[in-house]
Amino acid sequence: MQHTSEVEAADALFASYREVKAEIGKTIIGQDEVVKSVLIAIFSNGHCLLVGVPGLAKTLLVQTVARVLDLSFNRIQFTPDLMPSDIIGSEILGEDRNFKFIKGPVFSNIILADEINRTPPKTQAALLEAMQEKAVTAAGVTHQLDKPFFVLATQNPIEQEGTYPLPEAQLDRFMFNISLDYPSWQEELNIVKNTTGNQINTIKKLLNAEQIRYFQQLVRNIPITDHVLEYAVKLAAKTRPNTALATPKVNQLLSWGAGPRASQFLVLGAKCHAVISGKYSPDIEDVQAVAKAILRHRIVRNYRAEAEGLSADQIIEQLF
């Protein structure tokens, strides 16, 4: 049985989540599942990759989240000529003839890495260290980043000119891969109504960095039963072709599966999903609720899956 204080803390996170979601909803119309996933990632201390065509309010979403959570925010526009020092900062020679480090835009709580696949691998790698270590190294000195630290990267799905696909190691750093779709007819009507007049939405700041760090710790403390834990680990293991748990379908359709980081994220994501759904411990439905966004960028379909027109999501669904 959980202590009363833990139950109260879980209730506080549940209440905060609903408040934050409602506040974001004043600016971002529709996109409910997207907002939910972004908040789960923040409370689970993970990063997000948003995939969608331009013009679906990805930047507005990130700015709104940063304002509601009262966190510092920087947007980095990834371009083919962006250098690692443009992200992490650089050493300059000061007036006193000593070198000093000038911090780059990565020193912020929330980073919007816009069109991350437009920059060469060398610059992508600079962000990779920051995401994994929550620190950056410049001229041999390691600088800690502000906490919480959260990267929300956007990527255009269309195979456009001048894109560099993200390597698997970089993709694996993202907890969620969230796909954005066009709004429904009614949502688009509301969006246009709200954005073509002169009313300005004021956004309330509902949480701060310290509270978010507290909630991130709380999510880790949520108890999970053995059979749900085993289900999560088994689900990730089933995606690995030619291993003990792989299904015949997986062997036929996938050339690559999810690594152990997927299992960790499935458990953390399920814990957070349970709390924001008003539960005190995750069940199998919570694992399934976060599974697609966690696994879809970690499995690699082979030519057969592509020939049959099977999406990553359809393959994951068969594993449930």
Write the CA distances from 187 to 155, 183, 224, integer angstroms: 23, 6, 37
Q: What is the pLDDT of residue 181?
A: 79
CB-CB contact of 143 with 90 (8 Å): no
Helix (H) or strand (E) holding 38: helix 32-43
How does DSSP classify residue 74?
E
Q: What is the pLDDT of residue 43?
A: 93
CB-CB contact of 234 with 58 (8 Å): no
Write down the mean pLDDT value for the chain: 86
Instruction: Convert 99-123 into a string of H (helix), E (strand) and C (coil).
Output: EEEEECCCCCCEEEEECHHHCCHHH
Tens of pLDDT along the chain (320 residues)? 456 677 888 888 889 999 999 888 888 877 888 889 999 999 999 999 988 777 777 778 888 888 899 888 899 998 888 888 898 888 888 788 888 888 889 999 999 988 888 888 888 888 888 888 888 887 788 889 988 999 998 887 656 666 777 777 778 889 999 988 787 888 888 878 777 777 777 778 888 889 999 999 999 999 999 999 999 999 999 999 888 888 888 888 888 888 899 999 999 999 999 999 989 899 999 999 999 999 999 988 888 888 888 888 888 888 88
Query: pLDDT digits over 249-262, tens only?
Result: 888 888 888 889 99
Alpha-carbon distance of 227 to 180, in angstroms, equals 32
Please say whether the dihedral angle defined by the alpha carbons of residues 251, 253, 256 and 259, taken in this order, is positive or negative: negative
Q: What is the pLDDT of residue 2?
A: 54
What's the token pair of residue 70? Answer: 């009262």
Model pTM score: 0.89
Query: pLDDT digits over 115-130, tens only?
Result: 888 888 888 888 888 8
CB neighbours of residue 260 within 10 Å: 10
Segments in 168-310 forming alpha helices (H): 168-171, 185-195, 209-221, 226-237, 248-253, 260-276, 284-295, 303-307
Question: Can you say whether residue 114 is alpha, beta or left, with left for phi > 0 and alpha for psi between -120 and 50 degrees?
Answer: beta
Helix (H) or strand (E) holding 177: strand 176-179
Going along the chain from its start, the domains and CATH numbers come out as 4-209 (3.40.50.300), 222-319 (1.10.8.80)
CB-CB contact of 45 with 147 (8 Å): no
What's the token pair of residue 307? Answer: 């020939």
